[in-house]
Chains A and B, each alone.
Chain A
Amino acid sequence: MSNVPLTKDAAEEAAPLAEDLVVLDSVNKHFGALHVLQDINLTIKRGEVVVVIGPSGSGKSTLCRTINRLETIDDGSITIDGDSLPDEGRGLARLRADVGMVFQSFNLFAHKTVLENVMLGPIKVRRQNKDEVQARARKLLDRVGVGSQADKYPAQLSGGQQQRVAIARALAMEPKVMLFDEPTSALDPEMINEVLEVMQQLAREGMTMVVVTHEMGFARSAADRVVFMADGRIVEEATPHQFFDNPRSDRAKDFLSKILKH
């Protein structure tokens, strides 16, 4: 993996723009009788890396998915760079294009090569020039360390490689913010680090990131803030140092004692 930046000069771009990039205001969501997001207020600043942590079923994935409206919300509002999320249609597609998402299960397009996976969004959504997109896609693949796999199909790659391709695919859209939903949970242990390294590098370059993960090493070294969720609520928000060394809530203490044991 080279040390060339993964994004365009993010810091330089950021300066004159508004501080708050993603703002969730009193967001509520139900799945039938289940109140899965309860009055969520969360603001993510430009360039900030927020790690979301919490027990299984606490609503972390749902939170991520509402931010690019893969899930609708019942009430409250979500704005991205000042624009509120529109309903279905062109406006929504445009907004989604600015929000990169990386899934636990990679979700690469199985019938397309690695290179085609990365090129698809910029060509079909942003209507960019094919040659330029290809050059950029190859560069991105090199940067995440899978340049030599460009012409293979996803099924021919290891999980760690697939996830790095998925990151490159999201970055190819030049998103304003990247969402990661447990990006390393489906990986064999020896592949976790190669993915975390790419994410670390992104964080260093100033990418705005929301990362659902239980990787505490990553949270400690890359996160500006840890958000602890339980039962659909944000129970605690703190710096990684505060949260891991000195959690305030009982829920967080209980949770941390469980994940630290094994």
Chain B
Amino acid sequence: MFDFLDLEQYDLFGAFWTTVQLTVFSAIGSLIWGTILAGMRVSPVPIMRSFGTAYVHIFRNTPLTLIIVFCSLGLYQTLGMTMFAEGNVDTIGFRLAVLGFIAYTSTFVCEALRSGINTVPVGQAEAARALGLSFTQVLRIVVLPQAFRSVVAPLANVLIALTKNTTVAAAISVAEAAALMRTMIENEANLIPIALLFAIGFIILTLPTGLLLGWLAKRVAVKR
């Protein structure tokens, strides 16, 4: 069934490796930026709150393709942002894509975290403030550790969605799995097996992630 698959001609593992890299870098960035955004959205400073809210609403409601294409056309070709990779077009494209994924995915991380923050009894934050902890200390030491534990499962969903969303990077010619799939479909006549092959590839990436994080979610849950 898969005899069209000439690994000399098609770098299947290389393409999926790029997908994995896109996912990992974007996930780390989204987690960090999303956490900062969540902190802004619960902060006592009105400007921070407004910024966080506006950011989330704008980026969450913009199609991902548009964000990725904007990164390429707007940031790179118009504004000349090369993401510290002067001259190397592939690296520039990869980094721009990661930037776009972070900008988009962080909004979902932020919203998941915010629902996690709501599960932490407000009295604990008050007790922490009463001890003399600053706002960021309360967030970092008391609220976020518990919030994260309660949203491992929703964050796993965000991660799985991100893994699949990385296919959008094909739009700006990043050589990840979906880009290779498109090339193969153009060259070979076996549409259904090719689609199946890539579907299996993505399931191999996402299924263990989901199972692992599902197990983790149960383990780290805070008992009340």
Contact = CB atoms under 8 A, between A and B. Distances in A.
B116 to A, nearest CB: 12
A257 B164 CA distance: 69
Nearest to B223: A155
Contact of A97 (B132, B141, B149): B132
A122 to B, nearest CB: 9
Interface string A61-87: 000000010100000000000000000
Contacts of B129: 70, 96
B124 A121 contact: no
Interface string B96-133: 00000000000000000000000001011011111111
B14 interface: no
A32 to B, nearest CB: 19
Given A110-B224, A111-B222, A120-B141, A94 B123 contact: no
Given A105-B123, A111-B145, A99 B133 contact: no
A103 B131 contact: no
Interface residues of A, number: 31
Contacts of A110: 121, 124, 146, 222-224
Contacts of B145: 111
What secondary structure prevails in chain B residues at the interface with A?
A: helix
Contacts of B134: 90, 93
Interface string A103-124: 1011111110000000011001
Contact of A125 (B133, B149, B224): B133
7 contacts: A68-B130, A103-B126, A109-B127, A110-B121, A120-B128, A121-B133, A124-B137
Given A88-B44, A121-B133, 15 more contacts: A93-B132, A94-B132, A96-B131, A97-B131, A105-B123, A108-B127, A110-B224, A111-B146, A124-B131, A124-B141, A125-B132, A125-B137, A153-B223, A155-B224, A156-B223
Interface of A: 68, 70, 88, 90, 93-97, 99-101, 103, 105-111, 120-121, 124-125, 153, 155-156, 166, 169-170, 173
